[in-house]
Structure formats: C-alpha cells, structure tokens
Chain A
C-alpha cells in the first residue's frame, strides 16, 4: 500500500444531460405536477479502477470525449464521482487548465500572487519563488501589463510556471503540452522530465501517442468512458495505434 500514489476504485461519473435544465422553482413545481421531471443521465465514466504507483509515469489515451479529462478532474478533486472512490497519497499539482483563476484585468505580477493563492501557496512562498516564476515564463518586461493584453501562449507560459514552481508528489498534466510554441513545449517537457527524475508521480494525457509511449511506464486506454486496456506503455500504445 505504501508504494501507491493514487488509487481509483470503481469510479462512475454521470452527468445530467437534460435538454432543458430545470433551474428554477417555478419550472420545478410545474414539471413535478405534470410528472415531467425526467433526468437524462449521461455516463462519462463507467466503473473505472486503476492504481498509480509512486514515481510512476502513467498515461491515459482515448479519442475525444472518452473521459480522460473527467478522470483527471476526479483525481484532482475538482469533480466528485457519482459512485466509487479515489484516494490520493501526497500533494497534487494539476495542470489541467493553465491559468485558471487568472483575473484578466490584473497585471501579470498581481496574477502570480492570485493564482498562487488559488493553488494554495502561501504569500511568503510566492515571494520566494517569484523570480524563478518570472524567469521561466520569460515575461520580465510584461510584469506590470494587464494580462488581457497577453497572447494565449504567454498566459499558458505564466500558468505553467506558477503551477510547476512547487515540487508536488503527484503531477497531473492534461494536454497542456500542445499549447505555446515549439521552444516553450520543449522547456515544459524538460521541466516535467526533471520532476520525474526527482521521483514525482505523473499522470499524463496527450494527443500525441508518441509522446505517451516515450514518457510513460503504464497506460490506460479509455473508450467511451470504459476501460479498454490497461498495461505496459509499449503494449497499449501499440494496440491503440493499430486499432
């Protein structure tokens, strides 16, 4: 048990997919009286179970809409599963939506603090790491510019720099390596590789099956919310490519 970082057991996630959402009391009562209160449920994840070992690099592949992001959100605690349980051993740093929590009217400097607080860092910690965040994001000249004037690449750089300034026990990466230019992607990948070398457990989702095959130890293949394969990266990626 002590060498497990994340344990996902029989997780099912259902979303409410009613065409017209009942979001007020009046409609609710009318529909209740007419007995029209139906919820169309959509099962985004169906009985998913897997363990991620400490220090492992774990990949998730699957077509669009197969439930990869939903799985990552459940592991990070953003979503609570409808059924099943998730246990996480250690601190977690999710790179799911870079720059979530940025306020576009504030400057880059103010946003570094705001975003740091959103991630649960302390003020002193952010002060201490401020320079290295700025250096990594290469935004020295734009520190006092409101980020609404930034390109999406610049925002992603800043978001990545803030989220990765800590050395978490578990790093969660959702297709973020496809943003920004080629040079920045390399830089991000290098930083993630450094963390891996330092023993950080990584769960990664990527469009690029080559990247997954190159980086991961084990891979989970999702298809329409169900587990299709779970095993060694070579084996699962090989099958995925030949489907």
Chain B
C-alpha cells in the first residue's frame, strides 16, 4: 500500500513540477517587476513596519528589520500556501471530474510554489543583513532546517483545509479570521519580553511560534536550537502531516460528488 503510493507519486512527479513551473511563470510574467517583486515586497513591508515600530512604539529590538522579516517570511508562507491550497481542489474540479490524478497533487503543488517564493524572499533577508552589517555566521546556513519543519507542517494543514473546503465553502472565511488571530499570537513584530507570562504559555501551543524562534535563533542569535526544540518542531510538523493525510485520504473519494 505504502509502496504503491510512492510509485504513484513518482509517476506523477513531472506533472507536479510542471504545475509549479506554470504557476511561477504566471506569477512572474504578469508583474512588471518580475522576480524582483518577491524581494521588494518584504523589503517595503519591512520599511513601513520598522518606521512604525521604532518611531511610534519605541521598540528596542536589536536588528529589528531582520527580526521582523524572519517572522514575516514564515507567516506569509504559511498563510499564502494554506489559502492557495484550500482552493486548489475546487480549482482543479474540471480535471478531477475527467481524468484520474492523485488529488493531493494540487495542494502539494501550491505548497511547493509558495516555498519557492519564500526562498526568493529570503534573498531580501540576506540583503538587509548585509546592508545592516548583521554578521552572517555558520549557523545561518542551517536555515533549511526550520524551513523544512514549517513546510511539512504547512503541507499537513493544507491537505486538511483543502479537503474540508470541498464540503464547507465558508471555511475560507473562518480561516481568514483565524489567521488574523494567529498573526497576533506569533511574535512577528513584537518582542517576546513584552508578553505577560500567561500569554507566553499560550504561545507554546502555537507551532508557528516555535518555527519562528528556531529560524531567528540561527539567523540572528547565532546558536543552534537544542534537541528539545528540534523535537518540539518535528512533533508539531509530523502530527499535522498525519492529521492532514488521514483526513484527505478519508474524504478524497467524495470530492467529485461535491465539486
């Protein structure tokens, strides 16, 4: 069964990559600034947020632009990927009705597409670090690890949302509200010290909080998170992935009756 699934995935890998390339072409062909936009967008956001926080709130986080960008990068990847995935099965309705294709390809493709975008935006982080003369240390090059944790988590959540959205279309709206709350429950632009103790405890249940902290530790803090942090991150990722796969698998045969 497992082996069959992998063989099937292997067979459709070309389709997966072709769909990713197609999305990338569409995204970058349509915007005048091309690839530069992926880098420019986080930079512009950074300028605005930095101006607000350092002048209005007198925030004193060290290297605030990088602090903000690292959080922003992870949060926007997660929300973009899940939102696109959520609509992906519906979007592929005409195809799903006519040919046999493994249906998980559609949310997975959106996650990969957004992951590529995140890597491009990561260039913005590097540029800012160079400009601000933030030292790039050897631990910096461990950045794929937190990205991988986040990716696995996102795929799991995307599968879950994509399947749920076929049956209940208003999940999209509920999820919009949910992500707003999620943003405030993730230390993207505020310092952790600002939070009261009970809030810090609440945040521990937020997987994104752990991924962002991990990412910042290696990019800014110049230290590798310990085994415990790794296990926590891995745990959240795997549990979400298993939930997502199980739910998607259970529901996928019914998709065609609802799309």
Interface hub of B12, B101, B174 (most chain A Cβ within 10 A): B101
In this assembly, does B197 line the interface, its C-beta being within 8 Å of a C-beta of chain A? no
Binding stretch for chain B, among A97-105, A146-154, A188-196: A97-105
Sample of 13 more A-B contacts, CB < 8 Å, known A23-B168, A24-B169:
A15-B257, A25-B174, A26-B170, A78-B97, A78-B98, A78-B100, A79-B256, A94-B100, A101-B95, A113-B18, A114-B22, A117-B12, A120-B12
A100 touches B99 (CB 8 A): yes
In this assembly, does A122 line the interface, its C-beta being within 8 Å of a C-beta of chain B? yes
Interface hub of A23, A97, A103, A114 (most chain B Cβ within 10 A): A23
> A97's closest neighbor in chain B, by CB?
B98
- Name the B residues within 8 Å of A28 (CB-CB): 168
The bracket for how many chain B residues form the interface is 20 to 34
- Name the B residues within 8 Å of A80 (CB-CB): 253
B22 touches A122 (CB 8 A): no
Partner of B171, one of A15, A25, A76: A25
- Which residues, 148 to 169 on B, are CB-close (under 8 Å) to A? 167-169
In this assembly, does A230 line the interface, its C-beta being within 8 Å of a C-beta of chain B? no
Chain A window 105-133, contacts with chain B (Cβ cutoff 8 Å), 1 for yes, 0 for no: 00000000110011111110000000000
- Name the A residues within 8 Å of B100 (CB-CB): 76-78, 94
B168 touches A100 (CB 8 A): no
User: How many residues on chain A are close to B (CB under 8 Å)?
Assistant: 28
Chain B window 1-24, contacts with chain A (Cβ cutoff 8 Å), 1 for yes, 0 for no: 000000000011011001000100
B99 touches A24 (CB 8 A): no
A123 touches B14 (CB 8 A): yes
Expressed in whole angstroms, the Cα–Cα distance for A243 and B94 within the complex equals 36
Interface hub of B99, B169, B171, B253 (most chain A Cβ within 10 A): B99
Expressed in whole angstroms, the Cα–Cα distance for A44 and B14 within the complex equals 35
A142 to chain B, nearest CB (A): 21
Expressed in whole angstroms, the Cα–Cα distance for A99 and B18 within the complex equals 17
B98 touches A101 (CB 8 A): yes
In this assembly, does A96 line the interface, its C-beta being within 8 Å of a C-beta of chain B? yes
